[in-house]
Chains A and B, each alone.
Chain A
Amino acid sequence: MTAMTGNTTGAVEQRTGSGPAQLEIRGVTKAFPGCLANDNISFRIEPGEIHALLGENGAGKSTLVKMIYGVMQADAGELLWEGKTVTIASPHDAREMGIGLVFQHFSLFETMTVLENIALAMNDVRDMAVLRQQVIEVEKTYGLPLDPDRHVYTLSVGERQRIEIVRCLLQNPKLLILDEPTSVLTPQEVDKLFETLRRLANEGCAILYISHKLHEVKALCEHATVLRGGKVVATCDPRAETAKSMAEMMIGQKLLAPDRGVRPAPGDVRLAVKNLSLVSDQQFGTDLKNISFEVRGGQILGVAGVAGNGQNELFQALAGETEIHGTPDCITLDKQPVADFGPRRRRRLGAAFVPEERNGHGAVPDMNLAENGFLTAFRRMALSARGLIREVPTRSFADSIIKTFDVRTTGHGAEAGSLSGGNLQKFIVGREIMQDPGVLVISQPTWGVDAGAASAIHQALLDLAAKGTAVLVISQDLDEIYAICDQVVVMAAGKMSAARNMADASIDEIGLLMGGLHDLGANPAPELNGGQNDPA
């Protein structure tokens, strides 16, 4: 393959020619059994344009991308590439044509180097030395610093994403598709990514940017196509819209901001973690280093941070999935040391937990909702007697969750796996809240959940805290943390920053902490010094 020269000449042609669109989609339709994923979708992307594809989960974005990238074929409609009708039979074809795709989830081998990972994904590699030269050149041109010889497991998530982008750029893309690229980045990394994308667009590369983060779309994109229920429901210029107006286009109804109400005065400390250190049992997990924090009754504490910085290990330690023997008082629930307790004893003391993954962790997908309600609640809600399941109360418990939390389902007999992400999450959150917990630890409460369900969950968490429960929210989504939390701590590389009040915490400061700047310890950045030493 030829290196960057092809791209530059291509770019010149594209800038001079004002002819056909880089990609035009005409009336594309794709149906799956029981659902019309894409219904007569049309839009066009010009060379050099940054085009946003907006929509909630399940709106049909991924299906559309899979068809553009040749993973699936449309049932009807056509794709025009530079004005000509094309059939894209496979991802291989798509790459040959000049379509690059950066996935939301990376496909990298942890134990191999950056260069080796890039070589693996190329259609043909003749000479590693030449490839190395090309990689370095691309990195320099687009401001993507990355040592080709580092092993992937030593890299941050942002750096890993750079590998994927470099991979795509090496193939001379004329259209670059990014699927939720910023969900794993710190705000500073997002800015850097945007610079790269703007430079690419200036050179004539068309960019299809898929996201549900509206302020990013507003900052980056010139056009937006909004999908809802598989249809194009709106097109707009994001620069002329507000995040709220675009959100309303996405969900098709008025957006209700969570009502924080009058926040109660913090009560007693209900969950306290003191000098918690833990070696991860996963090969590439993150060890927890000397973590301390407290959550008081009525308070919502947010744990911000890029995924993979120890949040999973923290959640497991709090939920009792990992028991810590020897130092039982490093975790206390209402002053009772519990670090060596299993999940059931912690729940008996009034704690409740909601893990990030719904299917298979928070719920058993092949079991029905009545059984899934029983799963964590059978002791606190007295759903069992003499070792037997009490069927009637079990069913009515599930019914009351379904009713109170507006879970859209056919009833308590529906299998958990048949519910949409948002509805299942409402059920799981509802299951824990209905048990009236004294402490609730919840990880990524609205991950992959539609906006309607997300705002319902946020409201439920606020209401729960208002009743005196201590709530810990582990989230990658800073918007979420700003929307509901009273205080925030930041995790990076298994360490945790001191807590600060939401009102005093600027997004820049949190971003720097997410990037791991408090690692510097003795030599913190000057503007951080005050925050570090002054716990809110």
Chain B
Amino acid sequence: MIRLEPRRQHSQKMIYLSPLLAIVLTLISGAIIFAFMGKDPIEALYTFFIMPINNAYGVGELFVKATPLVIIAIGLAMGFRANVWNIGAEGQLTMGAIFGGGLALAFYDSTSVFLLPGMFVMAAIGGAFWGAIPAWLRTRFNANEILTSLMLTYVATLFLSYLVYGPWRNPEGFNFPESRAFPDAALLPIIYDGTRVHLGAIFALLIVAGGWVLLTKSVVGFQLRVVGQAPQAARHVGFRQKRMVWFTLLLSGGLSGLAGMFEVAGPIGQLQPSISPGYGFTAIIVAFLGRLHPIGILFAGLVMALTYLGGELAQIGLGLPSAVTGLFQGILLFFLLACDVLTKYRLRFGSVSKSGEPA
């Protein structure tokens, strides 16, 4: 029988090394999988991880993909720190896109400089509103936010479909399920010519910095960490858990909504039935890969963005199915969790005594 035995001392170094180890292990298993599929593993890994970023446009795409991942993951990490498990960032992202995009469509012939800031505000409100529902259900009825936030994701994506197939469909769009294209005043400016890197990338960096201050320097961040690590101590000093549930769900909902608006006002430029390749879910992996720390999340976001790009190139260049992106992300999360477990516990082989052990 195999059992896990807690290590007496956790290595601080290993906590930071384990994401790197997980990445290396993911690459090795990826190579093995490619070999089994009859592809040259070296070439496949090159296509997957190097080719996407060997030119300026590719690096730009990396930032484009990393932007929503990082923004969402920062918000999620705050919640995860406080044991609030928002799994519904994808839905909050969608609602942010609907609220922000809705404003752009309402003023589709506007040239006002206030349109874009207005969209920021609306998107944050939309996402926060979608995060508020699980918060209310949790604090009022003690309903598990993992389930409610996840289920609300499907409500949000179906609502978006309803809008773009129905009332918000482009009247001049030949019946395609798309909204009008956003006016120029509603589009995020490109910050580096020849790429698609938009203003959202700058915001992502600001949000990383803000998240770092909030988490490590502020009293609120301190409260989050105490509520998450020692709920009884939090109760003892009067840090209210309910308040943290509200705060983190509103914050992560708002940031997810902002990320959704950046997508539709950035690379997409209109509302469509599908506006995200699962950024809201991938951001969960990003948050953990980044050790729930804003700086770590910045790097983790870039790594995960690369798997999206690599997955696309692998489809084109190697003829692999699109599922390969999800596969890599899944393997990475698996190894990360395994490394974390082995950082905290050691494996013991041998039988446990039949009659059990005293405490």
Contact = CB atoms under 8 A, between A and B. Distances in A.
A90 B355 contact: yes
B220 A387 contact: yes
A119 B102 CA distance: 69
B359 A107 contact: yes
Contacts of B135: none
Contact of A388 (B217, B235, B354, B358): B217
Interface stretch (B126-134, B171-179, B223-231): B223-231
A364 B355 contact: no
Most buried by A among B233, B240, B358: B233
- Interface size on B, as a range, is 20 to 34
Given A71-B357, A89-B353, A343-B236, A389 B230 contact: no
B353 A362 contact: no
Contacts of B299: none
Given A91-B353, A107-B359, A361-B230, A389 B218 contact: yes
Given A91-B358, A107-B358, A389-B217, A364 B9 contact: no
Interface in B1-16: 8-9
Contacts of A530: none
A321 B232 CA distance: 9
Contacts of B167: none
B2 to A, nearest CB: 18
A1 to B, nearest CB: 14
Contacts of B357: 71, 91
Contact of B358 (A101, A321, A375, A384): A101
Interface stretch (A42-50, A352-360, A495-503): A352-360
Interface string B316-359: 00000000000000000000000000000000000001111111
Most buried by A among B217, B235, B237, B355: B237
Contacts of A365: 229-230
B9 A33 contact: yes
A387 B219 CA distance: 5
B107 interface: no
A378 interface: yes
Nearest to B226: A364
Contacts of B356: 91
Contact of B218 (A101, A357, A388): A388
Contacts of B229: 364-367
Given A71-B357, A367-B229, A389 B219 contact: yes
Contacts of A103: 358-359
Contact of A361 (B236, B238, B353): B236
Contact of A389 (B8, B222, B354, B358): B222
Nearest to B221: A389
A70 interface: yes
Given A107-B359, A364-B229, A92 B237 contact: no
A316 to B, nearest CB: 9
B235 A321 contact: yes
A321 B9 CA distance: 32
A171 to B, nearest CB: 12
A361 B9 contact: no
A378 B219 contact: yes
Contact of B8 (A32, A107, A371, A374): A32
Contacts of B353: 70-71, 89-92
Interface in A79-132: 89-92, 95, 101, 103, 105, 107, 123
A320 interface: yes
Given A378-B219, A389-B218, A342 B236 contact: no
Contacts of A355: 236
A451 interface: no
Nearest to A385: B219
Contacts of A376: 237
Contacts of B225: 364, 367
Interface string B229-264: 110110111101000000000000000000000000
A407 interface: no
A249 interface: no
A384 B238 contact: no
A379 B189 CA distance: 45
Contacts of B8: 32-34
A335 interface: no
A360 B355 contact: no
A319 interface: yes
Contact of B233 (A71, A344, A360): A360
Given A361-B236, A365-B230, A105 B219 contact: no
B235 to A, nearest CB: 5
Nearest to B217: A388
Given A321-B235, A364-B226, A364-B229, A91 B218 contact: no
A91 B355 contact: yes
A378 B226 CA distance: 14
Nearest to A123: B355
Given A34-B8, A361-B232, A363-B233, A384 B219 contact: yes
A388 B219 contact: yes
Nearest to B7: A33
B355 A71 contact: no
A342 to B, nearest CB: 4
Interface in B181-206: none
A374 B226 CA distance: 11
A344 B225 CA distance: 18
A349 to B, nearest CB: 13
Interface in A301-354: 319-321, 342-345, 347, 353
Contact of B237 (A344, A367, A391): A344
Nearest to B232: A361
5 contacts: A347-B238, A353-B236, A365-B229, A384-B219, A388-B219
Interface of A: 32-34, 66, 69-71, 89-92, 95, 101, 103, 105, 107, 123, 319-321, 342-345, 347, 353, 355, 357, 360-367, 371, 374-376, 378, 384, 387-389, 391
Given A91-B357, A389-B222, 9 more contacts: A33-B9, A66-B358, A321-B235, A355-B236, A363-B233, A364-B226, A375-B233, A389-B217, A391-B217
Interface of B: 8-9, 213, 217-220, 222, 225-226, 229-230, 232-233, 235-238, 240, 353-359
Shortest 8 CB-CB contacts between residues of A and residues of B: A90-B353, A343-B238, A344-B238, A92-B355, A364-B230, A342-B238, A360-B230, A361-B232
